[in-house]
C-alpha cells in the first residue's frame, strides 16, 4: 500500500511545444497597490497549455527606447539566439489563469520600485502589444497528498493563489506569504482547509521565522516554496530538518537581490 501511495504521489513532467505568441492587452486591473493583473489575448494563444501552478512563461517587454519588442530566435536544439545589436527584455511569470474559449491569459505582476516589468505595468493600456514564450513544460504534482505547504513572497503569490484554487475540499494547506504590509494581502479562493500566515516586511518579519512557529500538516505532505534566492537557500535545509521528504519538496529562487532575471531551483 505504501509503495502504491508513493507511485500515486510521483510528480509528472509534461513537455510543451516551445512557441512565441504575439498578443495584445485586453484588460488591466490593480488587485492591490502592489499587484497589477494584466489579461492578454489573441489568436496566437490557440493551443496554449499550462498544467501546473509552478509553470512560467517568458514575457518579452518593449525596448524603452525604441518601443519595439525584441525576441530571440531558437536554434535546432532549442537554444536561444539573441539578435545582434538589439535589446531583449524578458522576465518569467506565472500563467495565473487561461481561458481557452476566449483565448485569454491572465498574468499578475508584483510591483517593485524599479524594473522593466514595473515600468510597463504602470503605463500599459488596453490594446498594447505583448509577446510571450512557453511554458516549456509543466511539473504536475498529484492531488494525492495528505496536505500541502505553500511558501513565498510577492513574486510567488500568483502561483500560490492558482494552486489553492486547484486543491480539493478538506485537504490541509499551510500558506506562509511574505508581502510589504497589509495593503498587499490578497483574498485567496480555495476549498482547502487553509492555515494562512501573512508576513509583513514593514514590521521586520521574515518567512523563516514564521515557518519556525507554524505547524506543518499531518501525514505525507508536498512542500512548494519560491522567493528571493538567499531566503530560498535557507528554507530547503530547514524544511528537511523538520522531516519533509526531499522528494516531495521544491524550493525555487524566483529572483535574486542585485541580479536581473533570475529563476532557478534550489537543490541539495
232-260 pLDDT, tens per residue?
999 999 999 999 999 999 999 998 876 76
β-pair partners for 98? 105
What count of residues does the chain have?
Answer: 268
Helices (H), the chain: 2-8, 116-121, 157-166, 207-213, 229-241
CA distance 137 to 54: 10
β-pair partners for 15? 137
> Can you list the domains of the chain with their CATH numbers?
14-137 (2.40.30.10), 143-266 (3.40.50.80)
Model pTM?
0.93
CA distance 95 to 196: 23
> Does residue 175 register a pLDDT over 90?
yes
Identify the CA nearest to 151 among candidates 141, 160, 143, 142. Answer: 160
Calculate what percentage of the chain has a pLDDT beyond 90.
Answer: 77
Average confidence (pLDDT) over 83-110? 94
Task: State the pLDDT at residue 261.
Answer: 63
Are 179 and 198 in contact by the 8 Å Cβ rule? The answer is yes
Residue partners of 1: CB distance under 8 A and separation at least 6: none
Amino acid at each position: 500500500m505504501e509503495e502504491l501511495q508513493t507511485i500515486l504521489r510521483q510528480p509528472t513532467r509534461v513537455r510543451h511545444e516551445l512557441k512565441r505568441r504575439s498578443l495584445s492587452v485586453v484588460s488591466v486591473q490593480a488587485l492591490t497597490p502592489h499587484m497589477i493583473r494584466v489579461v492578454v489575448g489573441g489568436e496566437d494563444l490557440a493551443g496554449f497549455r499550462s498544467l501546473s501552478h509552478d509553470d512560467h512563461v517568458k514575457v518579452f517587454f518593449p525596448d524603452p527606447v525604441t518601443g519595439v519588442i525584441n525576441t530571440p530566435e531558437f536554434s535546432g536544439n532549442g537554444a536561444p539566439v539573441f539578435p545582434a545589436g538589439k535589446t531583449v527584455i524578458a522576465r518569467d511569470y506565472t500563467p495565473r489563469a487561461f481561458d481557452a474559449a476566449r483565448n485569454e491569459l491572465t498574468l499578475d505582476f508584483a510591483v517593485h520600485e524599479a524594473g522593466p516589468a514595473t515600468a510597463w505595468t504602470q503605463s500599459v493600456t488596453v490594446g498594447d502589444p505583448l509577446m510571450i514564450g512557453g511554458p516549456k513544460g509543466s511539473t504536475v504534482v498529484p492531488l494525492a497528498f495528505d496536505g500541502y505547504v505553500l511558501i513565498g513572497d510577492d513574486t510567488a503569490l500568483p502561483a500560490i493563489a492558482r494552486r489553492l484554487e486547484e486543491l480539493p475540499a478538506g485537504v490541509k494547506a499551510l500558506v506562509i506569504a511574505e508581502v510589504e504590509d497589509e495593503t498587499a494581502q490578497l483574498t485567496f479562493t480555495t476549498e482547502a482547509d487553509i492555515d494562512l500566515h501573512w508576513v509583513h516586511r514593514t514590521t521586520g518579519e521574515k518567512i523563516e521565522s514564521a515557518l519556525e512557529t507554524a505547524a506543518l500538516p499531518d501525514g505525507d505532505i508536498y512542500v512548494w516554496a519560491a522567493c528571493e534566492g538567499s531566503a530560498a537557500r535557507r528554507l530547503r535545509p530547514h524544511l528537511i530538518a523538520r522531516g519533509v521528504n526531499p522528494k516531495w519538496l521544491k524550493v525555487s529562487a524566483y529572483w535574486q537581490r542585485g541580479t536581473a532575471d533570475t529563476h532557478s531551483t534550489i537543490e541539495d
